[in-house]
Each structure stands twice: as structure tokens, then as C-alpha cells.
Chain A
Amino acid sequence: MMWGKIKHWIEVRIGLEELINRHLRSFKTPKGAGFLSTLGFVAMIAFIVQVITGIMLLLYYVPHPDFAFQSVQTITNEIPYGWLFRLVHNIGSNIIIGVIIIHLLHVFLRVSYKKPREITWVSGCIMFFLVLLTSITGQLLPWNQTGFWQTTVTSTIPAFLPIIGEGISSYMRGGEFVTGITLSRYFSFHVVILPVIISVLIGLHVLMIRRQGISTSPSLEPESIETSNTEFKREDHPEGQPCFPNFSLKRLFMVMIYFVIVFFIMTFMQNIFLPPETNFPANPLMTPESIRPPWYFLAPYQLIKTIPNDILGITLIVIFSVGLMFWPFFDAKDAGRNIQKRPLLLSLALIVLALWAILTIWGMYS
């Protein structure tokens, strides 16, 4: 009774019911929109988790070379539940990248990037690269041996690029070497600049999805799609299910899976993303015996290590990244979206995936 009155009081003032009807119930998801179609939403929740835990860590973290390592140790060992927020932030930073990779792969294999969804794809790829950059900048903040030397290596890689390479490295480090200046700028990028840009891009990405509608499963779509549209046309899916509550429950289920994975790793494999070197403060005069990037950088790392020509290695990575980002414009022909009927595209995707997996495993054990 009391709850009903409160609900009515809020309803009269905000019109929540009307808001849900207009934006969620009337927004239809197409037939065949399964659990994998919720991964973009899961990535957004994972990003929010990173922001919340990051803000909690900020309350005690000190971004100075003399205090950074100790402040992280204090958060982990002395502050009540500090270990929890640090571990969720650390594990979450790895899981979010996994979620985005699977999301990108799913969209690619469904060929959902085609006209009119080029902007959605490009904004998604930019967000992926920015999340990787956020991860790179975050590695240095604890000022431990792993982070310091990983930063030394990652900030040296751009120097291989002709003409502009040295400049990029210098901009990244704020000088010739990794110092307190590097820590300050990595801190500002990690905490403010990159999260703000990513938030704006999430807004653009979601806006595009809302305007265009979620793409239909390629198996349910006609053989050839119309790419010569000159007017905006929204996919309304009148035969589909409402986003709320049907599709929202699937989203919630996948978000729960995300939390289960984070908490499972935290309980049973808490050091999987924190190698022993992370327990030692940064020593600029001693490179640790084994310095290896996180799992998602192992493939490019191994590529650079394997190819004897530095410029060729970095050029291949740049070509792959640019190619991935602008792929909708390379695949703009009026071909169908069913990848099983496009053996060339399917072969290309499988070859790139296999190469990525081989290089990652090779990098892990070399």
C-alpha cells in the first residue's frame, strides 16, 4: 500500500512508466537476437564497474613515484576491503577487453557492420583501442617492476615508426625515459581523459543503435541487401520482441555471468593477472628476468619480437588496426550478410583469428 503510494507519487512527477514504454517496450529487438547480442551492454556495465572501482581506488592512491607503490600496497593490505576493489578493478580490466573482443568478433561474423552501421562499427573499434590505451596507462600507476618495464617497452614500440615515431614516444613518456612525468601524464589519461572520451563514444554508439535498430540475424535476412539507400531507414522489427522485459532479461543474465567470472577469478585465481614482479617497487636500473605484456597484447608483442625488421613489425600492426577500423568501407559491395555464403570473408576471418591465437600462445611460452 505504502509502496504503491510512493510509486504513484514518483510516477506523477517523472512519468517513469511512459519513459519505459517509449524507450524500452516500444523498442523491438529482432528475431534471433540471442545472448551474444547482449555483449555490448555487458561491456558498458563492465566499463561502469571499472569507473566505480577506479574512483574508490583514487581515494587512497597517490600518483607520485615516491608514494605510488606504497599507496597501492596500503590499499591492498591495510584499507578495509581495499583488496576487493583493487582485484575487481584489475580482473575487470582484463575481462572487459575479452568481452569487447568477443563482441567485435560477433558483429564481424554477422557482418552487421555494413551500411548503414559504419559509424557504429568505427566508434566501437575506436572505443576498443581506447580501452587498450586505458589498460596501458593503468599498468604504470602501481609503480611496480612489471608496470614500469611494460611501460618502457610499450612506449618504445611507436619509436619504430619513421619520422613521427620518436615524437610519439617522447609525448607518451614526457621525455626520454619513463619517469615521474610519465606517471603524471599516464595518471591523467587513465583517470580523466580516456574515460571521458570513451563515455562520449558510448553515447554515440548507443545513439546509433537506437536510431538504426539492432541488426537482424543474417540467416533471417534476404540474400542481397540494399546498400544504395539514400535516405535514413530504421529497422523497427515489428515482429520482434520488446527490449523490456524480454531482451533486458537476457542482458541481465549475461551481466550476472560477467560478475560470476570476475568473482570466480578473484576467489580461486586472484594472482592470475598480478605476476610476482608486481610486488616489487619499480627499479629503473634493473629490468626483471621475465617481462611479458598482458594476454591481449601478446600477439602484437610476439609479432614485433619475431619480425627482424622493426618498421615492418609496427607497420603490420598499424595496417591491421586501420584495416579493422575501416573494414565496412572495404566491404561495401552489395554482397549478402550471411558469412557462410561468403567463403573469402570467412577464410580471411579464420586466418586472422588463427594467427592471433598462434602468436598469443607463442608469446606466452617464448
Chain B
Amino acid sequence: MERRQLLKTSLAFLGTTALVSFVYPASKFLVPPQKSAKDAQITLDKDQIPTGTAKEIIYNEIPLVIINRRGSGFIALSRICTHLGCLVGYDSFNNKLVCPCHAGEFDLEGNVLSGPATKPLHRYPLKISSKQITVG
């Protein structure tokens, strides 16, 4: 191999190595580490949520709503609308969850009733005892 060719090849190799050595850590740097300390469970007294009402809580940094449905009991649903991420609110009068951004509507099981959302609201497991309800 000629000296000039060797220089060109070495430059290409060094340039690629330098670029990859910068791009890889830069792409990793942009993603912050996941928080590991997550709440294992949240416990509430049943009295706090009478029948036909709902309570908004934060569980693992996610806004949830726990609804005490007439005849069907408690359910925990994510408040994050599956369309564009706005927070749904509980409409006790019409027994549904409504997103203020694009008027998406969900039933009290989290299923889509109308609007632009296509996926149901995420449902969280609940443990129900005689006096308390536990999320998670």
C-alpha cells in the first residue's frame, strides 16, 4: 500500500472511530435513567370514595383516577388520554370520562366511547378489602 493510500485509510478509520465514539455516548446521554424507586402500593380508605364519585391520585408518577361505580364497584384507570396525552376528568353526571383536549370520551371501564382516541385507558390492578383499597 502506498503511503498516501495508507494515510487516507487511517484518516477514514480514525474519523469513523471518533464519530462513533461521540455519537453513541451522545445518544445515550439524551435518555435520562429510569427512576427505580417506585411506589409499590398506595392504600386508601373506602370511605374516601363514596359510590358514584371518584378520586384522583398519583401512582408511580402517573395520574390515576379511582372510581366507585354504581353497581360495579371500584376501578383504577390512568387519566392519560390515549390520543395525545391530556388528562381525562370524571363526569359523574353522565358516568363517563372526558378528555378536555379533543372531546374524547371513555366509559367507566376505560373503553373508548367516542372521539379521536383508539385505545382504551390503561387499567391498574386493585386489591379491595373490607375497609381499604390498594393500588398496585
Identify the A interface with B (CB < 8 A): 149, 152-153, 155-157, 170-171, 174-177, 181, 185, 284-291, 304-306, 308-310
Contacts and interface: CB of A to CB of B under 8 A. Distances in A.
Contact of A175 (B32, B63, B85, B116): B32
23 contacts: A152-B86, A155-B85, A156-B83, A174-B30, A174-B32, A175-B32, A285-B56, A285-B63, A285-B87, A286-B87, A287-B86, A287-B87, A287-B89, A287-B100, A287-B101, A288-B100, A291-B86, A291-B101, A304-B84, A305-B102, A308-B116, A308-B118, A309-B118
Interface of B: 30-32, 56, 58, 61, 63, 83-87, 89, 99-102, 116, 118
Contacts of A156: 83-85
B100 A290 contact: yes
Contacts of A291: 86, 100-101
B32 A152 contact: no
Contacts, number: 53
A299 to B, nearest CB: 15
B111 to A, nearest CB: 16
A153 B85 CA distance: 6
B131 to A, nearest CB: 27
Contacts of B86: 149, 152-153, 287, 291
Contacts of B102: 305
Contacts of B89: 287
A206 B51 CA distance: 68
Contacts of A153: 84-86, 101
Nearest to B101: A291
Given A156-B84, A175-B32, 16 more contacts: A149-B101, A152-B84, A152-B85, A152-B86, A153-B101, A155-B85, A156-B85, A170-B31, A171-B30, A171-B31, A176-B61, A285-B56, A286-B87, A287-B99, A308-B118, A310-B83
